[in-house]
Structure 1
Amino acid sequence: MTALKEYERLESIGLWRETPDGQRKEVVVAFGDASLVLRDSNDRPLTHWSMAAIERTNSNQRPAIYTVDPDGHETLEIDDKTMIKAIERVRNRIQRARPKPGRLRVWISAITLCAFVIAGVVWLPEATARYATGIVPDAKLEDIGRRALAQVNKLTGTPCSSPYGERALRLLEDRLIGTTSNRILIVDMDQRQSALLPNGNILINKSLLSDQNGPELMAGYVLMERAMQDERPQLYDLFLTAGLNTTLRFLATGTINKAKLDQFAESKIMGNPSNPRPDNLHELFNVAQITSTPFAKSDLRYGDLAAIDNYAKQSIPLLSDEDWLALQEICD
């Protein structure tokens, strides 16, 4: 489902340049619920662009050129009229929701805030959390993720690491995540098998490395957290659980109360597991071209995925036997 109800699915071709000196690459652009997903010709994800962060650098010209980088270093060119129209509609909605300078803005904001409080105290925290999530810069997001991981490490110990194990882990990231902005970290999480940090990094329980059949079970939990991040960013959950006052203070100062962040980090280890929609998770298994059956048998909530496993007999190997063995020894 996309951000616009009239489109069940919307895709187009685009030209993506990751750096100013890099070559433009032809990519498939998929219009999602809260982001654009860029995939290569093999249908492997390259990166996700948050709708709230997208800016257009050449108004009313074609091909349209978009960026999520304040300096415009990373760009995406799109010539498809339908895709451009859809992106512009969502951008206009987001722009209208953002505060405007001037005295009128102050009065409108005050009246709107009072109306929100009177209408109900439930909607406002969610709307504020959603807005704050959409405007957090990448550098601040990484800082929040590092602080959350530091608190998690008090409960799990530091992530496992070894030269050959790290190499195998990077291979898995390339296949399952497709972007260097997010990483997989192996830790000791006791009963919980996986968790997701606000910056998109994924924690995996080292117990999953003991599966003698291969890395497919572990990969299933990685994809589950990826699906969760696509549906409901963990930064949004952080703001929602921290409360309205904390979120408003963040919007004003750019800081989050340490106690609130620590409490949220602990919930990633002690709280309930992630619960993305099965259809979204199924799509990620298909994109990665791996079997979902080992994961479906491990997590009964997703048992039906085994019945619709498109790669039960033709899954492309995730790792060589040598790399899987190296990954299994990463915590030794």
Structure 2
Amino acid sequence: MTALTEFERLEAQGSWRESPDARLREVIVSVGDATLILVDPKSEVPLSHWSLPAVTRLNPGRMPALYTPRPEEPDEQLEIDDQLMIDAIERVHRAIESRRAHPGRLRGGLTLLAALLMIAGLVFWLPDALVRHAARVAPPAQARAIGEAVLAELNRSTGATCTRASGQAVLDWLTPQLLQKEAAIRVVPTLNSARRLPGDLFVFGADLVDAAPGPEAAAGHLLAAAEAQGDDEVTLAALEYAGPQAALRLLTLGTLPQGALQGYGEKLLTEHPPRPGDEALLARFTQKQLPSTPYARSLDPTGESVLGLIEADPMRGTTPARPLLTPPQWTALQQICAG
């Protein structure tokens, strides 16, 4: 019995009653490998063998200790007042109990593990799911408000949005022809590309019109921005930057916390604007009957890295039925940042 390895032999005196009607007999109690052996002290004849796992104490905490091998029918009983033997029997019981399977503990452990996994899943999954849901269900007015907030952040680096009325009127007239009816286009002083912002808001730099021979290059950048990203993508990107708490406020109160997008404009300007594939972009140029070469040359004046857009220009060798803008409109657009 491994629980009692420090004892070579463990014996004690006890009083044994074979049945309720039998008289008490003095016995020698010894511990075997898995049994409790009761021996007649005079003849040394074994009188009874009890299975140690089955031995049950009938009077815990009282002396002498009273044991039985069958707790459901405690006819046979043994009294022991040797504390060392009592402790030994208790140690054996504890050792047996520790090795016994505990389905309840296992079930409880598995339940706890499942709960921890669920909590971990919520910690790592819920914030992302919350942000994605907020981006998906944001109505147009809410998305446009986010776009205006992003534009305000961009203005910190690009300069204030140009607001000359005559130039903005040209953009408002041009917007439904290039983009969708609900879109809006803004111009900032320094931005050598176009960006799509949440709420179908587009912004490009006056650099694209100041020294250009015509509006086609700027128009090409706007088409590329529209093709490269959908409104849901740019809205999601902005909310991911703002974080799950800001997304929760947007869902519950309809607005982002003040400062939630602080620094986002600077972050956008450090990234190259996404560029769509040539095939998809050329399809847009074809649909709008616009040349792709001015856009391509604005990206790479040598034309080497944009050869596909130049060679497959849908308007190559043809003259547009009408110009994108009239000369007065073009002049007004070029002067949108003046004054």
Name 1:169's counterpart in structure 2: 171
For 1:116-265, list aligned pairs within 5 A: 118=121, 121=124, 127-179=129-181, 181-190=182-191, 192-230=192-230, 233-265=233-265
Counterpart of 1:62 in structure 2 is none
Structure 2: runs of 5+ lacking an equivalent: 1-113
CA distance in 2, matches of 1:113, 1:263: 36
How many Å apart are 1:232 and its aligned residue?
Answer: 5.6
Query: Quick one: which amino acid aligns to residue 286 of structure 1?
Result: T
Amino acid at match of 2:156: K
Q: Is the 8 A contact 1:296 1:304 kept in 2?
A: no
Q: Kindly provide the amino acid, as one letter, of the partner of residue 234 in structure 1.
A: V
8 Å Cα contact 2:197-2:231 kept in structure 1: no
Query: Structure 1 residues 124 and 168 mapped into 2: Cα distance closer, same or farther (>3 Å)?
Result: same
Q: Using the alignment, how far apart are the partners of 1:293 and 1:252 within structure 2?
A: 47
Deviation for aligned residue 1:159: 2.1
Aligned residues: 219
Deviation at 1:112, TM superposition (A): 12
Structure 2 match to 1:281: 281
Q: Distance in 1 between matches of 2:115 and 2:325?
A: 54
Q: Matches of residues 79-90 of structure 1 in structure 2 within 5 Å?
A: none
1:209 offset after TM fit, Å?
A: 1.0
Corresponding residue for residue 313 of structure 1: 317
Whole-angstrom distance in 1 between the partners of 2:310 and 2:170: 26
Superposed displacement of residue 321, structure 1: 2.0
8 Å Cα contact 2:135-2:232 kept in structure 1: no
Considering only CA atoms, is the larger Rg found in Structure 1 or Structure 2?
Answer: 2
* Structure 1 residues 134 and 119, CA gap change in structure 2 (3 angstroms): closer
Q: TM-score, normalised by structure 2?
A: 0.56
- Structure 1 residues 284 and 255, CA gap change in structure 2 (3 angstroms): same
Q: Structure 1 residues 231, 198: CA separation in 2 closer, same or farther (over 3 Å shift)?
A: closer
Q: 2:333 aligns with which of 310, 327, 332?
A: 327
TM-score, normalised by the number of residues in structure 1: 0.57
Question: Would the alpha carbon gap of residues 279 and 118 (structure 1) be closer, same or farther in structure 2, given more than 3 Å must change?
Answer: farther
Q: Secondary structure at the match of 1:184?
A: strand
Aligned to 2:291: 291
Distance change (3 Å), C-alpha of 1:216 and 1:117: farther
Identity %: 29
Deviation at 1:186, TM superposition (A): 1.2
Letter in 1 for 2:166: Y
* SS of equivalent residue, structure 1 residue 311: coil
What do the CA deviations read for 1:276-302 (whole angstroms, capped 9, x no partner)? 333332222122110111112222565
Q: Residue 137 of structure 1: CA displacement?
A: 1.5
RMSD: 3.1
Shift of residue 200 of structure 1?
1.9
Change (3 A) 1:166 1:263: same
Provide Cα deviations, 1:42-80, integer angstroms capped at 9, x if missing partner: xxxxxxxxxxxxxxxxxxxxxxxxxxxxxxxxxxxxxxx
For 1:304, the aligned partner's letter is: G
Assess if the C-alpha contact under 8 Å between 2:183 and 2:201 holds in 1.
yes
In structure 2, the residue matched to 1:78 is none
C-alpha displacement of 1:197: 1.8
CA 1:212–1:244 in 2, change beyond 3 Å: closer, same or farther?
closer
Q: Which runs of 5+ in 1 are unaligned?
A: 1-110
- The CA distance in 1 between the partners of 2:175 and 2:161, in whole Å, is 16
- Offset of 1:324 from its aligned partner? 1.0
Q: Quick one: which amino acid aligns to residue 280 of structure 1?
A: A
Q: Secondary structure at the match of 2:259?
A: helix
Q: CA deviation at 1:327?
A: 1.3
* Residue type at the aligned position of 1:131: H
Amino acid at match of 2:159: G
- Larger mean Cα displacement after TM superposition, 321-330 or 261-270: 261-270
Judged with a 3 Å threshold, the aligned counterparts in structure 2 of structure 1 residues 127 and 297 are, in CA distance, closer, same or farther, namely: farther
CA 1:112–1:270 in 2, change beyond 3 Å: closer, same or farther? farther
- Contact 1:195 1:269 survives alignment (8 Å): no
Q: How far apart in 2 are the matches of 1:117 and 1:276?
A: 37
| Contact persistence 1:189–1:205 (CA under 8 A) | yes
* Alpha-carbon shift at residue 323 of structure 1 (Å): 1.5
CA distance in 1, matches of 2:306, 2:177: 22
Check 1:219–1:116 CA distance in 2 against 1; reply closer, same or farther (3 A cut): farther
Looking at structure 2, the residues matched to 250 and 229 of structure 1 have their Cα atoms a distance apart, in angstroms, of: 22
